[in-house]
Amino acid sequence: MQGVLRLTNPVQPYAWGSLTAIADLLGRPAPGTPEAELWLGAHPSAPSKLDSGQTLRELIAEDPVGHLGSAVARRFEQRLPFLLKVLAAAQPLSLQAHPSLAQAREGFRLENERGVPLTAPHRNYKDANHKPEILCALTPFHALCGFRRLDDTVRLFGALGLETTRLASGLRGYFEWVMTLEREPRATLVAQVERACATPPPGWERECGWALRLCRAYPGDVGVVGALLLNLLTLEPGQAIFLPAGNLHAYLEGVGVELMANSDNVLRGGLTPKHVEVAELLRVLDFTHGPVNVLAPSGAVAVYPTSAPDFELTRVTVAGPVELPRRGAELLLVTSGQVRVNGQTLARGQSAFLGANERGAVRLEGDGVVFRATVGVGE
């Protein structure tokens, strides 16, 4: 038993990050350079720190069964199975998808057998784990997520004066064709899309506006065609999307809380200067098309339902005392107001870890909003 352990969390300064959002959340001056992600967890490359100076990763490694609980320690290889982030995007991120557990295991093994170094820029699988993720908006959050209903995309492409015969005969074939075009026809297609989007057909102004922004951010990148095939969403604060294996997505702009399985496996589909391996992306992509299921649970204790066994996200609105039953190891992050967690005060931007060996319910008091990350209930 060691109570509520306060965390100090590393910031990732990726170029697409917001200049102000993370500093604002943490209540400190903005550094004048981008701050993209705040990481809460025990990830080897950037673990959270405890007041003792020890990292959360070191603490858990000393006694995985005590801190995680025996079932979780056994199932997730003695590691915290999730990573919680605050993501603050001022610019669009790459178009990407994540593998299933079976795909990740096989891909990781094959790359090891081929002798591809873990740090090589063309390495696809950094580990053997899947990486489902959920993103919950803290501000209005723009994202591309999953393929739009094919009929609607055919209508859009027709209205833009783009070729639709190949598209209408199937998303997989069309996407593969686009991604494997030679340099010259590829440049022609991207230029054609850019020209067409400059005069948006009625009802498609937002989609075309984002396409133009992507063209300017990544000149000549064929990912803009992929982006035009996806659902464009604006999540309101408290709304979330779950991104299961194979879902093609791109975060465009906004601040959100993101919870994911403990993995780095990303297969990119463009809108990036980084490695894009088309064959591997096509192997994992799910071409199911249709509207996105936006998660918007209500109530003071709002649980976001997903199929991921690795994690569960809960948003707790504290206006008086709230008692939550324990669910093993958990991370808590206050995103507004001030909340006492088992008597310890956490202000906005502050966070804590509670190990599985901390007994009794979690008692929250005060006035604010807390995000809670626990292990999932799914098998």
Catalytic residue ranges: 268
Taking the C-alpha atoms of residue 379 and residue 70, their distance in angstroms, rounded to an integer, is 15
Nearest one of 226, 214, 205, 218 to 160, comparing CA atoms: 205
Taking the C-alpha atoms of residue 3 and residue 1, their distance in angstroms, rounded to an integer, is 6
The answer to whether 207 touches 214, Cβ cutoff 8 Å, is no
Nearest one of 306, 369, 294 to 82, comparing CA atoms: 306
Amino acid at 95: L
The answer to whether 366 touches 75, Cβ cutoff 8 Å, is no
> Residue 206 to residues 220, 222, 232, 251: CA-CA distances in angstroms?
20, 19, 8, 15
Burial of 32 from C-beta contacts in 10 A (0-12 / 13-18 / 19+): exposed
Nearest one of 258, 257, 274 to 266, comparing CA atoms: 274
Taking the C-alpha atoms of residue 190 and residue 210, their distance in angstroms, rounded to an integer, is 14
Taking the C-alpha atoms of residue 42 and residue 331, their distance in angstroms, rounded to an integer, is 11
- The SS3 of residue 73 is helix
The answer to whether 283 touches 266, Cβ cutoff 8 Å, is no
Helix (H) or strand (E) holding 186: helix 183-197
Helix (H) or strand (E) holding 367: strand 362-374
In angstroms and rounded to an integer, the radius of gyration of the C-alpha atoms of the chain is 21
Query: Which residues, including other chains, have CB under 8 Å from residue 159's CB and lie 6 or more apart?
Result: 201, 204
Helix (H) or strand (E) holding 254: strand 249-261
